[in-house]
Amino acid sequence: MIKPYVLAPGSKIGILGGGQLGKMTALAAAGLGYKTSIFCPDPDSPAFICCDHALIAEYDDETALKMFADQVDVITFEFENIPLKSAEFLSQYRPLYPAAHILKITQHRLYEKDFLNQINIPTTLYISIKNDEDINNARSFTGFPAILKSARMGYDGKGQISVQDYSDLKKAWDQLGQVESILEAKVNFLCEISVIVARNIHGQIECFEPVENIHKHHILYETRVPASISDDLKKQSLVIAEKIAQELKLIGVLAIEMFVVEDQLLVNELAPRPHNSGHWTLDASYTSQFEQLVRAICGLPLGSPKRHSNAVMINLLGDDIKKWQSFLQDPTIKLHIYGKTEPKPGRKMGHITKVFPLEK
Ligand code: AMP
């Protein structure tokens, strides 16, 4: 029998990445009595305010990575674009959750969509574009109008270009710098939803319910819970999330973004970390997504993902943060400020969650 793995409070969690997700994970870890060490190249990282130890170094600096591993008992990350090689390097010394094989899939839009289709989870129609021959073959692609996305390093709409028809494709690919890309049919969705699933070291799985997401300029603007979708779609979304977690042998949390197209769900993207669309869980759920991550990787039982209030979460992008005092006038609004230095346009500076009583 495998000895159950439990890291007791007082142990140290290493977090790669020092943004708001790292900060909120460190706060949840502290709430359960864990220490944290945060590794990030940016000396102004918001997460440094609330960790036990900060390590400022580049993600591919193996000397610094080894020092980091030596300091901690388990390692996680708050964004999925850390170099795969660094994740594999760290895994030699300490458990890294979610594991490097999950990062490999989720860092690459084509691997991700291929994986989903292999396990019979529907996605939008897509093809790979990596050379002139692929561009030629795309003549027979039936998914126009489409979106060309770079396979790697894309988030919040970065590295994405709309392609109306075949004649636009070559120019769009040139604009992306001819990098390995995916051409996806543009989906006419009714709405966008996401589910966050957690799986711990012992295989226990819990899902937060699906939430509805509204994007502006490809960046998440608002999350509403409960989502205004049918019970049947809610069930389908949870089945999909559990299946993905099982197939990946996830340890940690994973967000799954989906498009609602009539009575069907298409999976758009996976993120193996806490997710912006899960911020509502801090204020309206028995367990937050950040606490769930800590529980999952430390081998604790997962907490209840049930919502105790309804909620609307709104991101404070760029100068929105300047209105912070006005949000405090409403005592049912929870204000979260990340502590970033410069409010650049579109930059996630904080969020508010308005909580409402559950409907009877
Ligand atoms: P992504 O970076 O793939 O999460 O895309 C960001 C946002 O762009 C999504 O949340 C959608 O609002 C939109 N989007 C991405 N892919 C598609 C698609 N194939 N069809 C329609 N809208 C899309």
pLDDT at 359 over 80: no
Q: Are 210 and 196 in contact (CB under 8 A)?
A: no
What is d(CA 121, CA 114) in angstroms, rounded to the nearest whole number? 10
- Residue 185 CA, closest ligand 1 atom number: 19
The H or E element that residue 179 is part of is none
Q: What is the pLDDT of residue 22?
A: 98
What does the block give as tokens for 260?
A: 């609602």
User: For ligand 1, is residue 216 a contact (CB within 6 Å)?
Assistant: no
What is d(CA 58, CA 201) in angstroms, rounded to the nearest whole number? 29
User: For ligand 1, is residue 187 a contact (CB within 6 Å)?
Assistant: yes
Closest CA to 13 of 37, 33, 46: 37
pTM passes above 0.85:
yes
User: For ligand 1, is residue 106 a contact (CB within 6 Å)?
Assistant: no
What separation in Å is there between the alpha carbon of 218 and the centre of ligand 1?
Answer: 7
pLDDT at 111 over 90: yes
User: For ligand 1, is residue 157 a contact (CB within 6 Å)?
Assistant: yes
User: Hey, which of 192, 218, 256, 260 would you mutate to test ligand 1's pocket, going by the most ligand atoms within 8 Å of its Cβ?
Assistant: 218
User: For ligand 1, is residue 219 a contact (CB within 6 Å)?
Assistant: no
pLDDT averaged over every residue in the chain: 96
Confidence of residue 159 (pLDDT cuts 50, 70, 90): confident
Closest CA to 135 of 173, 93, 109, 163: 173
Q: What is the pLDDT of residue 217?
A: 87
What separation in Å is there between the alpha carbon of 80 and the centre of ligand 1?
Answer: 18
What separation in Å is there between the alpha carbon of 197 and the centre of ligand 1?
Answer: 20
pLDDT at 155 over 80: no
What separation in Å is there between the alpha carbon of 183 and the centre of ligand 1?
Answer: 12
What separation in Å is there between the alpha carbon of 269 and the centre of ligand 1?
Answer: 9
Angle at 70 between CA 24 and CA 301, to 5 degrees: 45
Tracing tokens 């997460």 back to the chain, one arrives at: 47
Separation in Å, CA 179 to CA 169, 173, 185: 13, 8, 19
Q: What is the pLDDT of residue 107?
A: 96
Q: Are 191 and 260 in contact (CB under 8 A)?
A: yes
Q: Are 241 and 119 in contact (CB under 8 A)?
A: no
User: For ligand 1, is residue 143 a contact (CB within 6 Å)?
Assistant: no
Closest Cα to atom 7, ligand 1: which residue? 218
- In the chain, % helix, strand, coil (3-state, to 5) comes to 30, 30, 40
What is d(CA 276, CA 200) in angstroms, rounded to the nearest whole number? 21
What separation in Å is there between the alpha carbon of 22 and the centre of ligand 1?
Answer: 25
Q: What is the pLDDT of residue 43?
A: 96
Q: Are 235 and 265 in contact (CB under 8 A)?
A: no
pLDDT digits over 55-76, tens only? 999 999 999 999 999 999 999 9
Q: What is the pLDDT of residue 4?
A: 57
Confidence of residue 3 (pLDDT cuts 50, 70, 90): low
pLDDT at 216 over 70: yes
